[in-house]
Amino acid sequence: LARGTAAPDLAGRHVVISAGGTREPLDPVRFLGNRSSGKQGYALARTAAARGARVTLIAANTALPDPAGVDVVRVGTAVQLREAVLKSATDADAVVMAAAVADFRPAAYASGKIKKQDGQEPAPVVLVRNPDVLAEISADRPREGQVVVGFAAETDDVLANGRAKLRRKGCDLLVVNEVGEQKTFGSEENEAVILASDGGETAVPYGPKEALADVIWDQVTSRLTQRRA
Ligand code: CTP
Ligand code: CA
């Protein structure tokens, strides 16, 4: 579909997309974070809006302009992201977890800036697990028939890891891409394989993140029409 002439095949649908990367604070000035730019999630939001959807974009620490006609909810941490996604997903037809959610957060938050102590080695940073939003939503869908999509960035054994992750998470679709120092993070383009829980496998060649987004929406709409014609 050419940009601007998209068929309104998501009209009447509400889609929730998480984008960006969570930051887990250590103290008022420091955090544990990741390199997700949010561009793929924003491309998903723009293309869904162009196809007629009502779009809620849960944006974690992104520095991108708000897409026109999209409800943007800003969050910082994984716990905040979970709350925002669960709240907006209650009436959503599809939830797409494009955000890079930190697996761990510091067990303790220092309300004052952590200072060096003369002659002392630093204390180790103790981490605890964050909630797994994708697994939670997949196991207990906030709305019946909802289509749930995850993303996975892998560095090794990309497809084997992707298939195992799809089963573990319990989502309908998992968009798997290979990452490395020069690949994907912050770039305008992406290539991926979309793995489906029904065994389907769709390779999307290297190209704009909008093109990958449109293939994802094609797969989501076909599942929505099967479930609720
Ligand atoms: N995800 C999530 N909550 C988490 C971690 C990840 O919802 N706490 C979602 C991501 O948004 C993504 C998918 O799960 O859509 C896969 O993330 P990934 O980090 O690849 O999966 P993990 O199960 O955390 O596996 P790994 O140990 O490889 O990081
Ligand atoms: Ca992870």
Ligand 1 contacts CB of residue 151 (under 6 A): yes
The Cα angle at residue 74 between residues 91 and 71, in degrees rounded to 5: 45
Q: For a pocket test of ligand 1, which of 22, 80, 101 has the largest count of ligand atoms closer than 8 A to its C-beta?
A: 101
CB 16 within 8 A of CB 44: no
Convert the pLDDT of each residue in 46-81 to its tens digit: 999 999 999 999 999 999 999 999 999 999 999 999
Q: Cα torsion at 99, 10, 214, 167 (round to 10°)? A: 50
Q: Percentage of the chain surpassing pLDDT 70?
A: 94
Q: How far is the CA of 63 from the centre of ligand 1 (A)?
A: 22
Give the tens place of pLDDT for each residue, 115-173. 999 999 999 999 999 999 999 999 999 999 999 999 998 988 999 999 999 999 999 99
Among 34, 44, 57, 103, name the best residue to mutate to test ligand 1's pocket (greatest count of ligand atoms within 8 A of Cβ).
Answer: 103
Interatomic CA distance for residues 177 and 76, integer angstroms: 24
Q: ipTM for the complex?
A: 0.99
177, 40 in Cβ contact below 8 A?
A: no
| Residue 134, ligand 1, Cβ within 6 A | yes
34 catalytically annotated: yes
Residues of the chain above pLDDT 90, percent: 87
Provide the whole-model pTM. Answer: 0.95
CA of 119 to the centre of ligand 1 (A): 39
Residue-wise pLDDT tens digits, 168-182? 999 999 999 987 766
Kindly tell me if the per-residue pLDDT of 4 is higher than 60: no
Contacts of 80 (CB under 8 A, 6+ apart): 22
Joined tokens for residue 3: 């940009």
Residues 47, 68 contacting (CB under 8 angstroms)? no
